[in-house]
Structure 1
Amino acid sequence: MKRYNDTTYALLGILTTECRSGYSIKQFIDRSLNHFWKISYGQIYPTLKLIVQEELAEVRTASTPGKPDKNEYYLTSKGIETLKNWLEQPIEQLPIERNEILLKLFFGRYQSHENQILLLQNYKQELEKRYATYLSIEQAIIQHENHDENSDYWLFTLDYGKRTTQAAIDWCEFTLKKLPMG
């Protein structure tokens, strides 16, 4: 079976939801996947074009009175099989994190003590904002009127984000206490 890049598989997965247009796909990414999987707007349409060329989805034109026509994408049985096949494969590697604060702290000996503290405090504040965002997303999923079949899976990935963010907040607090005095 042909291999595709991860963006292709991500879009195949998104097409299993009610998102059908490039715009609604981008909105979905911004509200959910963007917290753990970045896909730029510039990647969406070329990938959708590939998905259609490969017969993994078909495109239909949707008309709404008073609005321009828009393309909507629907998975084909081949697209669903391709997605299922990919989902059942083991992961190829653990995620590799590129973390600027860790890089700066690694060379922290060359930074003023005040700057080290400021760096960690700012990072902790950003993490706390992220955690608050995760809580609001969680509430939106839980309170959604018609419990979506995907909700439990969305909550699992959200829980991962909450736990790793909380661990990073705890790490900031620990590190701030342990920093050697300048």
Structure 2
Amino acid sequence: MAKENNTQYAILGLLTTGCHTGYSIKQMIDGSLNHFWKISYGQIYPALKKLVAEGYASVQVAPQEGKPDKKEYHITSEGEKTLKIWLQNPIKELPVEKNELLLKLFFSRHQELSTTIHQLETYQEKLLNRYNTYEGIKEMITTRLNDEADAPYWIITLDYGLRTTQAQIDWCEETKAKLLKEE
């Protein structure tokens, strides 16, 4: 069975947030969705074209002087219906995480403990940077975007990222302590 492509639903959802051009969709993806749902720039326009072809979105072309025509996309009532149906469907499976650090740790008896500890410390540093990024996004939402209808849901999603990142930071500390204790 082919795996369902949820990117089209992500794009439909973004059309409901005031993002109406490929560029504004990319900006929103880079600032929010890419932290938990990867969509490449190369996927946006084919997805928009497909949504228009299926009647889930409409496109309006606005000529611009000295520039290519600007295309603005809007979700249709059929698109809203499709998005709502998808939102109400149960989650089918838990995601499987590909984590290079865990893969390396699994085989770490084949390397020096100092190398393993260094890898954990580097990973932890990256997690701290991610955590700080999430805190910055949260600050922006609560101070500048709090009036947005989607803001409470953005904060809930962000809270997941903050909590799971903090749990990973704590795990790094505990793992380093265990490894150093066993040495």
Per-residue Cα deviation, 1:98-144 (whole angstroms, up to 9, x for no partner): 11101100111011111001000000000000000000000000011
- State the distance in 2 between where 1:150 and 1:67 align: 33
| Identity fraction in percent | 56
Distance 1:178 1:13, change over 3 A: same
For structure 2, the residue ranges without an aligned partner over 5 or more in a row are none
Kindly report which structure 2 residues correspond to 1:61-72, keeping only aligned pairs within 5 A, or say none: 61-63=61-63, 67-72=67-72
Per-residue Cα deviation, 1:159-180 (whole angstroms, up to 9, x for no partner): 0000000000000000000015
Q: Could you say which residue in structure 2 is the equivalent of 1:97?
A: 97
Per-residue Cα deviation, 1:39-59 (whole angstroms, up to 9, x for no partner): 001111111100000000000
For structure 1, the residue ranges without an aligned partner over 5 or more in a row are none
Q: How much does 1:68 deviate?
A: 3.8
Distance 1:137 1:16, change over 3 A: same
Per-residue Cα deviation, 1:15-57 (whole angstroms, up to 9, x for no partner): 0011101111011000000000000011111111000000000
How many pairs does the alignment contain?
180
Q: Could you say which residue in structure 2 is the equivalent of 1:127?
A: 127
Q: Could you say which residue in structure 2 is the equivalent of 1:165?
A: 165
Scaled by the length of structure 1, the TM-score of the pair is 0.94
Could you say what the CA RMSD is over the residues aligned between the two structures, in angstroms? 1.6
Distance 1:65 1:55, change over 3 A: same
Distance 1:95 1:145, change over 3 A: closer
- State the distance in 1 between where 2:45 and 2:91 align: 26
In the alignment, structure 1 residue 34 sits paired with structure 2 residue 41 = no
Asked if the contact 2:145/2:151 (under 8 Å) is kept, the reply is no
- State the distance in 2 between where 1:36 and 1:145 align: 20
Distance 1:141 1:60, change over 3 A: same
